[in-house]
């Protein structure tokens, strides 16, 4: 029987929304400076979407959308407020209901691919601000049961100043999310941001979970992209990596995060951190698997296969992966190699490709 893949981390944006993205520069070259909606995702993954004419050991069942870092502010009345992030919610609601606006890059049939939605949310504003914001998200997703697809939120912290995750409002916000059965996607960056981001995240988790044993719900924290370790450390052998101070610091914080049973890790985001691949020449997949092994072994050792899930980080994976026509398939083959090298059995592979994401986010497939 074929195994359904849940791609737990993709981003979508139509061309008309590009000016609302915090990282976008008009006229900027590169693979992210244009529309990336479901049509482009279908092009990247078309070989892996289930059809009635060919069966595969694994097939793409659908995706979980993660917010794209829109221009925003924590308080509704400050700066840019919530207009752009709520427009993003409406865009996803149109995808999930199959009601596109011309030029947005999706069709009615694409609604079956949208399994979950992780919008931006002002977590650092505390429970009161979050409650007000989430009520507006509910309004934007009220039709056809789309609110049920909103399974969590993200407030990207990798570009925030030190101390944000430890503010009382942030901790209060996380606990509020837990009571609402909404997950929190955690985005930190060990390589560019610094190891202090991981250390602060560990302390944030300690404060969030401390004394919460009696609460009916504890927030589930889904960690993005292996915490973005420095995958470009000089590699001569696995020993050259596992003894490097950068690796050891990263690994210690990952182990500390994994001690909490409602934390999960996404195996995603690696192509944009590795040396770029050619769009034409096929890469040596076995070599990539070997180079990633110190980090992937550390993740599986810490979290166990029951709390590690597949994510592509499309279309960011196209940065370094060789472009839209080849990158998604390359990453899937790399991950296949990681699972084989790790020795996961059939049930563990089913979990990794889909069931872990389903359990963490509470989505239906």
What pLDDT, on the 0 to 100 scale, is given for residue 54? 44
Res. 345 pLDDT band, cuts 50 70 90: very high
Buried b / exposed e over 133-155, threshold 16 CB at 10 Å, is bbeebeebbeeeebbebbbbbbb
Higher pLDDT, 144 or 125: 125
Task: Supply the angle between the helices 127-140 and 83-97 in degrees, to the nearest 10.
Answer: 40
Nearest to 67 by CA among 112, 126, 12: 12
52 pLDDT exceeds 80? no
Q: What is the rounded distance in angstroms from the CA atom of residue 116 to the CA atom of residue 112?
A: 11
Distances (CA, A) of 141 to 222, 254, 345: 23, 35, 39
Q: What is the rounded distance in angstroms from the CA atom of residue 59 to the CA atom of residue 66?
A: 21
Res. 2 pLDDT band, cuts 50 70 90: confident
359 pLDDT exceeds 60? yes
58 pLDDT exceeds 90? no
What pLDDT, on the 0 to 100 scale, is given for residue 51? 52
Strand order in the sheet with 308-310: 152-154, 183-186, 221-223, 263-267, 308-310
Average pLDDT over residues 249-253: 98
Domain count across the chain = 1
Higher pLDDT, 57 or 76: 76
Tell me the per-residue pLDDT of 278-295, one tens digit each, with 9 for 90 and over: 999 999 999 999 999 999
What pLDDT, on the 0 to 100 scale, is given for residue 31? 86
pTM for the full predicted model = 0.96
Task: Find the CATH number of the domain harbouring 229.
Answer: 3.20.20.140
Neighbouring residues of 311: CB distance < 8 A, sequence distance ≥ 6? 7, 8, 9, 10, 224, 225, 266, 267, 268, 269
Res. 331 pLDDT band, cuts 50 70 90: very high
Query: In terms of residue numbers, what domain contains 108?
Result: 3-361
Strand-pairing partners, residue 77, are none
Distances (CA, A) of 84 to 23, 70, 129, 321: 14, 6, 17, 29
Q: What is the rounded distance in angstroms from the CA atom of residue 231 to the CA atom of residue 166?
A: 28
Average pLDDT over residues 45-74: 84
The 3-class SS string of the chain reads CCEEEEEEEECCECHHHHHHECCCCCCCCCCCCCCECHHHHHHHHHHHECCCCCCCCEEEEEEEEECCCECCCCCCCCCCCCHHHHHHHHHHHHHHHCCCCCCCCCCHHHHHCEEEEECECCHHHCHHHHHHHHHHHHHHCCHHHHHHHECEEECCCCCCCCCHHHCHHHHHHHHHHHHCCCEEEECCCCCCCCHHHHHHHHHHHHHHHCCCCCCCCCCCEEECHHHCCCCCCCCCCHHHHHCCHHHHHHHHHHHHHHCCCCEEEEECCCCCCCCCCCCCCCCCHHHHHHHHHHHHHHHHHHHCHHHEEECCCECCCHHHHCCCCCHHHHHHHHHHHHHHHHCCCHHHHHHHHHHHHHHHHCCCC
Res. 50 pLDDT band, cuts 50 70 90: low
What pLDDT, on the 0 to 100 scale, is given for residue 1? 67
Res. 177 pLDDT band, cuts 50 70 90: very high
Contact 151, 363 (CB under 8 A): yes
Average pLDDT over residues 118-144: 97
Q: What is the rounded distance in angstroms from the CA atom of residue 31 to the CA atom of residue 269?
A: 15
Contact 225, 271 (CB under 8 A): no
Average pLDDT over residues 182-189: 98
Average pLDDT over residues 30-58: 82
> Residues of the chain with pLDDT > 70: what percent?
97
Q: What is the rounded distance in angstroms from the CA atom of residue 257 to the CA atom of residue 260?
A: 6
The token duo for 67 is 């917010």
């Amino acid at each position: 029987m074929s195994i359904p893949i849940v791609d737990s981390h993709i981003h979508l944006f139509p061309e008309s929304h590009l000016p609302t993205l915090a990282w976008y520069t008009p006229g900027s070259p590169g693979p992210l400076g244009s529309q990336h909606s479901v049509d482009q995702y279908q092009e990247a993954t078309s070989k892996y979407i289930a059809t009635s004419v060919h069966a595969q050991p694994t097939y793409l069942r659908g995706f979980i959308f993660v917010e794209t870092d829109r221009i925003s502010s924590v308080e509704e009345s400050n700066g840019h407020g919530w207009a752009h992030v709520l427009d993003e919610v409406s865009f996803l609601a149109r995808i999930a209901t199959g009601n596109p606006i011309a030029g947005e890059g999706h069709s009615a049939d694409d609604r079956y691919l949208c399994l979950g939605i992780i919008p931006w949310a002002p977590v650092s504003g505390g429970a009161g601000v979050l409650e007000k914001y989430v009520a507006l998200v509910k309004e934007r997703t009220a039709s056809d049961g789309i609110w049920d697809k909103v399974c969590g939120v993200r407030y990207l912290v990798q570009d925030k100043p030190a101390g944000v995750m430890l503010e009382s409002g942030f901790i209060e916000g996380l606990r509020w999310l837990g009571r609402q059965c909404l997950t929190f996607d955690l985005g930190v960056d060990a390589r560019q941001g610094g190891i202090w981001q991981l250390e602060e995240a560990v302390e944030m988790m300690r404060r969030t979970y401390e004394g919460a044993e009696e609460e009916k719900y504890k927030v589930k924290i889904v960690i993005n992209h292996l915490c973005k370790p420095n995958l470009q450390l000089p590699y001569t052998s696995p020993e050259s990596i596992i003894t490097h101070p950068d690796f050891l610091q990263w690994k210690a914080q990952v182990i500390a995060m994994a001690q909490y049973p409602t934390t999960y890790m996404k195996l995603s985001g690696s192509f944009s951190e590795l040396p770029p691949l050619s769009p034409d020449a096929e890469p040596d997949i076995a070599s990539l698997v070997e180079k990633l092994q110190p980090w992937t072994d550390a993740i599986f050792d810490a979290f166990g296969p029951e709390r590690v899930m597949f994510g592509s980080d499309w279309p960011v994976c196209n940065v370094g992966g060789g472009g839209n026509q080849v990158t998604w398939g390359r990453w899937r083959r790399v991950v296949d190699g990681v699972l084989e090298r790790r020795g996961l059995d059939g049930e563990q592979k089913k979990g990794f490709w889909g069931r872990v994401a389903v359990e963490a986010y509470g989505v239906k497939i």
